[in-house]
Amino acid sequence: MDKRRMVAVLCTLALAIGCLAGTQAVQAKTAFQDASSGALHVEGTILCDADGKVVQLRGVSTHGLSWYPEYVNDKCFKELHDKWGANVVRLAMYTEEYNGYCSGDAANRKSLKKLVKKGVQLAAKYDMYVIVDWHILSDGNPKTHKKAAKAFFKDMSKSLADYDNVLYEICNEPNGGTTWKDIKSYANDIIPAIRANDEDAVIIVGTPTWSQEVDKAAASPLKYENVMYALHFYADTHQDSLRKTAENAIKAGLPIFVSEFGICDASGNGNVNKTQANKWIKLLDKYHVSYVGWNLSNKSESSAMIANSCNKTSGFKRSELSTAGKWMYDMLRKRAGKA
Ligand code: IDC
């Protein structure tokens, strides 16, 4: 190669590297929009801030608040934001399972509400969005506890009205033959109760069959603004066909929100499938869909992010995370421009 050609090649190379670095910086900046961006709203299929800038939420869900309340603490939330690069935390409050909001007594309800408020305050303190999740599961149909749900969301939206980092998830995973019609009628009752106190909070609505049938919602969406529809997946169980359903719903204009996913099988345990997990993340990033990983605990199950042998509730070293936890940590940090 003559000298002139060599110089030209080197210049092109330098330019390409410069551009690449520049693009990465811009991507990192737009990718990590934390709650300092203020209140969110839905535009088409996408979440935006007040300036119309795309905000993609990525973060983690607690395990059931009645089982693992200890992770809702100041140091842990700071670490999730500063070190993990999470811009959202989901507070999973079971309704029917062990000490659930509806299965437990009045003292339990009081302490759960207190814990949810603490979670919202800590999330706000560390610039994270936060999802208040009415975690129905074995109760199957959200109508089972509709009265309690309405009272809960009325009360919560009133006391949290000044926080613009809150999103409400009104029914985790309808199942057991619950139809989209059932869910719509429930949502049409609960949404106005929230809107009465907080007229524009983003509300996430579960979909039939453990929040998988977003196609049903796409065919007949709710009539409210700032509503998104839950799609949940567990990567070792749900693969191409559910990804297709998700993509079709997005193409049909449905704003979907992956408010819970795991990279193991649907039981929350079993094999960790990184190949399928990466396929999911690639698809969700392509459409700026937000996603929240299950779960922040050290339970002996593969979806738990903290190693079973680690009893800390903050200050986790990477080596103290489970296989799924390490994957989640690396994935979040990379997307937040921290790794
Ligand atoms: C699982 C927990 C497990 C707990 C069980 C209670 O991981 O420790 O004993 O709930 O029934 C969901 C649910 C979520 C499940 C999770 C894994 O939203 O509550 O958590 N999962 O089974 N949907 C699909 C999978």
Show the CA angle centred on residue 198, arms to residues 89 and 186, nearest 5°.
80
Please indicate, yes or no, whether the overall pTM of this predicted structure exceeds 0.85: yes
CA of 267 to the centre of ligand 1 (A): 6
At what angle are helices 180-195 and 146-159 packed, to 10 degrees? 30
Q: Which residue has the tokens 């066909």?
A: 241
Nearest CA to ligand 1 atom 13: 137
Tens of pLDDT along the chain (339 residues)?
A: 444 444 344 433 443 443 344 333 334 344 589 999 999 999 999 999 999 999 999 999 999 999 999 999 999 999 999 999 999 999 999 999 999 999 999 999 999 999 999 999 999 999 999 999 999 999 999 999 999 999 999 999 999 999 999 999 999 999 999 999 999 999 999 999 999 999 999 999 999 999 999 999 999 999 999 999 999 999 999 999 999 999 999 999 999 999 999 999 999 999 999 999 999 999 999 999 999 999 999 999 999 999 999 999 999 999 999 999 999 999 999 999 999
CA of 265 to the centre of ligand 1 (A): 10
pLDDT of residue 31: 57
Query: Is residue 303 lining ligand 1, measured as CB closer than 6 Å?
Result: yes
Q: Closest by alpha carbon to 178, among 140, 232, 216?
A: 140
Assign 67 to helix, strand or coil.
coil
- Which of the 8 DSSP states describes residue 325? H
Query: Is residue 172 lining ligand 1, measured as CB closer than 6 Å?
Result: yes
Query: Is residue 324 lining ligand 1, measured as CB closer than 6 Å?
Result: no
Q: Which of ligand 1's atoms lies nearest the C-alpha of 94?
A: 19
pLDDT of residue 83: 98
Active site residues: 173, 260
CA of 13 to the centre of ligand 1 (A): 50
Q: Which two tokens stand for residue 334?
A: 């990379």
Mutate to test the pocket of ligand 1, among 68, 98, 294 (most ligand atoms within 8 A of CB): 294
Query: Which domains, ranges and CATH numbers included, belong to the chain?
Result: 57-335 (3.20.20.80)
Nearest CA to ligand 1 atom 7: 268
- Which of the 8 DSSP states describes residue 69? G
Strand duo 58-62 + 291-296: pairing: parallel
110 Cβ contact list (under 8 Å, min separation 6): none
Element (H, E) at 292: strand 291-296
* Euclidean distance between CA atoms 80 and 86, whole angstroms: 6
Nearest CA to ligand 1 atom 1: 268
Q: Which of ligand 1's atoms lies nearest the C-alpha of 267?
A: 22
pLDDT of residue 32: 81
Q: pLDDT tens, 271-301?
A: 999 999 999 999 999 999 999 999 999 999 9
Query: Quick check: 16 and 27 in contact, CB under 8 A?
Result: no
Query: Is residue 137 lining ligand 1, measured as CB closer than 6 Å?
Result: yes
Q: Which residue has the tokens 């090649």?
A: 9
* Euclidean distance between CA atoms 243 and 264, whole angstroms: 16
- Which of the 8 DSSP states describes residue 70? G
